[in-house]
Chain A
Amino acid sequence: MKAGKKRRIILLVLVLFVSFVLQTTVIPFLRVGGIMPDLLLILTIFTALFYGSQGGGAVGFTVGLAQDLLVGRHLGIQALSGLLTGYTVGYLEGKVYKKNPLVPLFLVFLGSLFSGAVFLLGRSIIGIFSFTIPLLWYDIIMGALYNTLLGVFLFRPFARLVARPEPPGVDPVHMYVDYRG
């Protein structure tokens, strides 16, 4: 494995680990109207943007499984939601118009909705649903908006830290925004 790639992977793992600790300690204090942002989901989506469907899927599955382990119930539901979200966003990444800087934010919003939908569907399939779906959709939409807002501030630092470098001769601006600042 090349030194640069190894370094980026180590950085990514570190970023995810620190985010995980923050998600379980500080982030719950940022609740607005009972909704808190999902830092790990945002980072899963960003990873999918830079590393494609397989990278996004792998990271989504891993952080989802970690969340499942911490919650200790319905093991696999958040892993599944993370996997499918990371994979789908990574798959979309190759299909969308890349020069628009709003694309990553739009994908955070869309990915958050998708993740919530998979989560609800998964819970319904395994028969642990007890509440009316429209009310939970409110949570999902507000959560997606909150994630998008947080994504505005997180995208650039994340890209600087762990993004895969562009091939030589390619204008770096083509990758959403010039994250090298």
Chain B
Amino acid sequence: MHRPPLRRNIVILLIITVLCLGFARFTASLSAGVAVNPFQEILVPLQGGVMHVWSGVASFFKYFEGIRHLQQENALLKQQLRELTWENNRLREYVYENRRLLRLLDFKERNTRRFTLLGARVIGRAPSNWYSTLVVDRGSEDGVRKNQVVVSDAGLVGRVTAVTSHSARVLLILDLEGAVGAMVQESRTIGVVEGGKDKPGLLRMVHLPYDAKLEKGQAVITSGLGGVFPRGIPIGKILKMENEGNELDKYALVQPYVDFDRLEELFIITEIHHVPEPVLYEESATEPEQAAYQDEVHPDFEFS
């Protein structure tokens, strides 16, 4: 087969390299990336379908794991048990879903004074290790707009960076570029929380004052500075303080409240109502209510 000379190929590769880098630089300067993304719109139904099948397959294997210990039983009992287990599994799924939805409903009701919340389901995730983004099944036709804040009942998830008519892309706070203005709830120490690639799934709170005295277990919430994220949304809790070479560059490792790997349903804040006192996450709740909330959502979270 005829092959073009290597020198010509190298010249072509160099030209494409320069074009790609130039275009990447240009799109990097756009605050929200490429806004119109028909490609994503095409993928949405397929991604939704695959995730549906994946959930079914996962449930199927979970079921078989559950009945492994029954192999000693006779055939009739096995059959009966299998039927009952199927039924039980189905009902348990309803129970789990019900619990999840109740928690979401409770969250929504508690925050109706402050926010207008739109429920959404996760239908896709970032295709590489370098980005932490999600695709949800709500788009501009549902009232979703760029830069709207995304939360779950556990805490802050991220913000919307691109919207199509029936889907939206969410930049997670775990992403290298998903920085959030934050503060330590107890001491009101201001900083910035950003994704930390050194410890997967953890955040780093940086730009801390050199004399900041932070302790393990303290809650980190949004500071409201920067104009995108409203104040008072829980982000996570401090795991430990670390230094980057010298005492002046210290930062805190933060464990996010949200389990990003298991995120299925979430809320998009479509409107922020200006009320004098934040009611998010029941900071003013009675002690039994706080205890119940703490057990259910943030087992290690302490109300100040």
Q: Does B86 contact A (CB under 8 A)?
A: no
Q: What A residues does B228 contact at CB under 8 A?
A: none
A21–B46 CB distance below 8 A: yes
Q: Give CA–CA (A99, B22) in the complex, Å.
A: 41
Q: How many residues of A contact B (CB 8 A)?
A: 50
Complex interface bits, B18-41 against A, C-beta within 8 A gives 1, otherwise 0? 011111111110001111010110
Contact A26 B16, beta carbon cutoff 8 Å = no
Residues facing A in B29-73 (CB within 8 A) are: 32-35, 37, 39-40, 43, 46-47, 50-51, 54
Q: Is B217 an interface residue (CB 8 A)?
A: no
Q: Which of A68-127 contact B (CB under 8 A)?
A: 69-80, 83-84, 87, 119, 122, 125-127
For residue A82, which residue of chain B has the nearest CB? B20
Shortest C-beta distance, A58 to chain B (Å), equals: 11
Determine the residue in chain B with the shortest Cβ distance to A63. Answer: B127
Instruction: Provide the residues of chain B in CB contact with A78, threshold 8 Å.
Output: 128
B204 and chain A: residue at smallest CB distance? A131
The answer to whether A35 and B129 have CB atoms under 8 Å apart is: yes
Q: Which of B16, B21, B27, B40 contacts A73 (CB 8 A)?
A: B27
Query: What residues on A are CB-neighbors of B50 within 8 Å?
Result: 21-22, 25-26
Q: Is A1's beta carbon under 8 Å from chain B?
A: no
Q: Is the CB–CB distance between B127 and A73 below 8 Å?
A: no
B24 touches A135 (CB 8 A): no
Q: Is A36 an interface residue (CB 8 A)?
A: yes
**In the complex, A127→B169 CA distance in Å?**
23
7 cross-chain CB contacts under 8 A = A22-B50, A26-B51, A31-B261, A34-B129, A61-B16, A71-B127, A125-B21
- Which 10 pairs between the two chains have the least Cβ-Cβ distance? A34-B200, A76-B20, A72-B33, A80-B20, A73-B33, A76-B23, A28-B125, A76-B24, A75-B27, A126-B25
B residues contacting A by CB (< 8 A) are 9, 13, 16-17, 19-28, 32-35, 37, 39-40, 43, 46-47, 50-51, 54, 123-131, 133, 135, 161-162, 169, 176-177, 194, 197-198, 200-201, 261
> Which residues of A are at the interface with B, using a C-beta cutoff of 8 A?
20-29, 31, 33-36, 38, 40, 53, 57, 61, 66-67, 69-80, 83-84, 87, 119, 122, 125-128, 130-132, 135-136, 139, 143
